[in-house]
């Protein structure tokens, strides 16, 4: 079956640099530094990444950061809570725009 | 989900060392370990001495963990005899090898286990026992903690996770709870308490097809959770990578993770870890006295090679301490990331 997403493509990420190596190198050096332990631990960063991956619905990132969260010592419970946070923000972000809807509604209604 | 018998008991193909080797060597196209190792510029992998005699006293075990590289279980009958233990002691006496690491199976189930420990102690060597903890609560073994304490034995125990769910998934229903109870008994005798000198180290290994987290960070998590929630203590946590052999190999294949796991091990090859692999300072002795470079090679029936004597009865310290190591593709399991050995991360 042909699909747009193939799990094996994740490993080919670096090949995207073929069109412009300089920019890709800059991206990876920044990216790697982002995920190094700092004020947040590597595990916290992996869990944030996992949550964001769900918010942006990127299957590559979900694959990579599920593995990474496990390898940073996260439990299934922590990973599940992280994606609930992403889901709550997504849901909340939709709902809070209801205020815009109400503003427009009030302006248009008699 | 959890097994009750070894793969061997069911006549499964993977119980056979040759079948395992065939898969490890040929099932995916990875660069040969030897070549990768030699790329770090130190020639072929060679021992630098012998600091540990790792004696595998048999495959009998009261547990049947899903990741077991030994394929141990209650049905296994391979047991080291007292005569072979005697040969180990004679060889040991001819050397200054400081440590004897006793493993299995559940080594305590060997009927000559206690005798062997006390004889090694008489030679003035440090004894480490790989205890699975639950055996300490089994009928007829309840006084083992006192025996360990009396002989100053260092206890090294698997506890794959600080949560019951993850531990039981790998080691069997109720194993976590019984392990905690066993740790409590050891603590009661002074094990895991800084001032006592009685060492209890725990071992983490991933419950699945991924690599272990950072050892120091995870040790802090284990200490916090085990202390706060269960009131138990231990000295150090060792993180160990699951090796693609035995029942873990079976799991990898059945779950469709084999190729990606091997590729991951290769892609994380770490020269610093490779320089410190445990076979460089360990000699592994099988239940029948056969010599191996490590417990993993032992399970794959890869005897010491390159002209080194292959049985404990022909023990030759000078030759064995500088032997070339027999390597195959599973060796990538020791060199990935922070590395892995019986004493945890190595880089
Ligand atoms: S992993 Fe250890 S405790 Fe579990 S079956 Fe194997 S030898 Fe026994
Ligand atoms: S598997 Fe054994 S022989 Fe291979 S690197 Fe590890 S310890 Fe050495």
* pLDDT, tens digit, 9 for 90 and up, residues A10-54: 989 999 999 999 999 999 999 999 999 999 999 999 999 999 999
Helix then strand count (H, E) for chain B reads 14, 8
CB contact under 8 A, B217 and A43: yes
* pLDDT, tens digit, 9 for 90 and up, residues B149-172: 999 999 999 999 999 999 999 999
Q: Tell me, what's the pLDDT at B102?
A: 98
How close does chain B come to A40, measured CA to CA in Å?
Answer: 13
The binding-site residues of ligand 2, defined as CB within 6 angstroms of any ligand atom, are B 277-279, 293-294, 296-297, 325, 327, 330-331, 334
pTM, 2 dp: 0.92
* pLDDT, tens digit, 9 for 90 and up, residues B280-327: 999 999 999 999 999 999 999 999 999 999 999 999 999 999 999 999
* pLDDT, tens digit, 9 for 90 and up, residues B102-128: 999 999 999 999 999 999 999 999 999
What is the distance in A from the centroid of ligand 1 to the CA of B66?
9
Q: Give the ligand at the shortest distance from the Cα of B247.
A: 1
Sheet architecture: strand order including B237-239 = B237-239, B200-204, B154-158, B126-131, B99-103, B52-56, B282-285, B291-292
Q: Residue B219 has which token pair?
A: 């040790």
How close does chain B come to A9, measured CA to CA in Å?
Answer: 13
Contact B80, B311 (CB under 8 A): no
> What residues of chain B lie within 8 A of the CB of A42, using their CB?
214, 217
> What residues of chain B lie within 8 A of the CB of A36, using their CB?
none
Distance (Å, rounded) from C-alpha A23 to C-alpha A96?
37
ipTM reported for the complex, 2 dp: 0.81
Residue B194's pLDDT band, with cuts at 50, 70 and 90, is confident
Phi, psi for B158 (deg, rounded to 5):
-75, 130
H helices of B231-279, in order, are 246-254, 258-267, 271-275
Half-sphere exposure of B154 (CA within 13 A, CB side): 17
Phi, psi for B52 (deg, rounded to 5):
-135, 130
- For helices A42-55 and A59-71, what crossing angle results, to 10°? 160
Local structure of B202: helix, strand or coil = strand
Q: Tell me, what's the pLDDT at B1?
A: 56
Residue B34's pLDDT band, with cuts at 50, 70 and 90, is very high
Chain A CA closest to residue B263: A11
Percent of chain B topping pLDDT 90: 97
| Nearest Cβ partner for B166 among A43, A67, A75 | A75
* pLDDT, tens digit, 9 for 90 and up, residues B56-110: 999 999 999 999 999 999 999 999 999 999 999 999 999 999 999 999 999 999 9
Distance (Å, rounded) from C-alpha B56 to C-alpha B105?
8
Taking all residues of chain B, what is their mean pLDDT, rounded to a whole number? 96
How close does chain A come to B198, measured CA to CA in Å?
Answer: 28
Cα-Cα-Cα-Cα dihedral of B180, B183, B185, B189, to 10°? Answer: -160
Q: Give the ligand at the shortest distance from the Cα of B305.
A: 2
Chain B CA closest to residue A66: B210
């Amino acid at each position: 079956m042909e699909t747009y997403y193939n799990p094996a493509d994740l490993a080919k990420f670096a090949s995207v640099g073929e069109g412009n190596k300089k920019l890709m190198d800059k991206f990876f050096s920044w990216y790697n530094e982002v995920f190094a332990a700092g004020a947040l631990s590597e595990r916290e960063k992996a869990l944030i990444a996992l949550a964001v991956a769900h918010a942006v619905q990127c299957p590559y990132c979900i694959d990579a950061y599920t593995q990474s969260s496990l390898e940073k010592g996260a439990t299934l419970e922590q990973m599940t809570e992280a994606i609930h946070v992403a889901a709550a923000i997504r849901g909340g972000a939709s709902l809070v725009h209801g205020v815009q809807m109400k503003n427009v509604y009030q302006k248009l209604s008699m | 989900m959890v097994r009750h018998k070894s793969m061997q008991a069911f006549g499964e193909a993977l119980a056979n060392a040759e079948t395992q080797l065939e898969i490890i060597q040929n099932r995916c196209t990875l660069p040969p370990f030897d070549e990768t190792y030699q790329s770090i510029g130190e020639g072929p992998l060679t021992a630098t001495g012998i600091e540990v005699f790792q004696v595998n006293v048999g495959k009998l075990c009261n547990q049947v963990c899903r990741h077991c590289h030994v394929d141990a279980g209650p049905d296994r009958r391979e047991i080291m005899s007292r005569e072979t233990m005697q040969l180990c002691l004679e060889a040991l006496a001819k050397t200054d090898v400081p440590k004897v690491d006793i493993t299995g199976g559940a080594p305590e189930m060997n009927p000559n286990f206690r005798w062997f420990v006390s004889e090694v102690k008489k030679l003035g060597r440090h004894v480490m026992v790989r205890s699975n903890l639950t055996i300490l609560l089994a009928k007829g073994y309840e006084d083992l903690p006192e025996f360990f304490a009396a002989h100053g034995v260092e206890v090294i125990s698997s506890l794959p996770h600080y949560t019951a769910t993850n531990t039981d998934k790998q080691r069997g229903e109720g194993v976590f709870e019984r392990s905690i109870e066993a740790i409590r008994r050891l603590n009661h005798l002074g094990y895991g308490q800084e001032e006592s000198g009685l060492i209890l180290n725990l071992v983490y290994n991933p419950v699945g097809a991924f690599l272990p987290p950072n050892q120091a960070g995870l040790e802090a998590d284990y200490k916090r959770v085990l202390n706060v929630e269960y009131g138990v203590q231990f000295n150090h946590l060792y993180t160990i990578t699951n090796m693609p052999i035995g029942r873990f190999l079976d799991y990898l294949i059945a779950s469709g993770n084999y190729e990606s796991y091997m590729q991951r091990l290769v892609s994380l090859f770490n020269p610093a870890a490779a320089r410190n692999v445990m076979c460089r300072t360990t000699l592994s002795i099988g239940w029948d006295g056969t010599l191996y470079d490590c417990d993993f090679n032992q399970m794959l029936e890869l005897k010491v090679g390159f002209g080194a004597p292959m049985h404990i009865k022909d023990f030759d310290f000078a030759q064995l301490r500088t032997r070339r190591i027999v390597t195959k593709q599973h060796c990538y399991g020791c060199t990935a990331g922070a590395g892995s050995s019986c004493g945890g991360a190595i880089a």
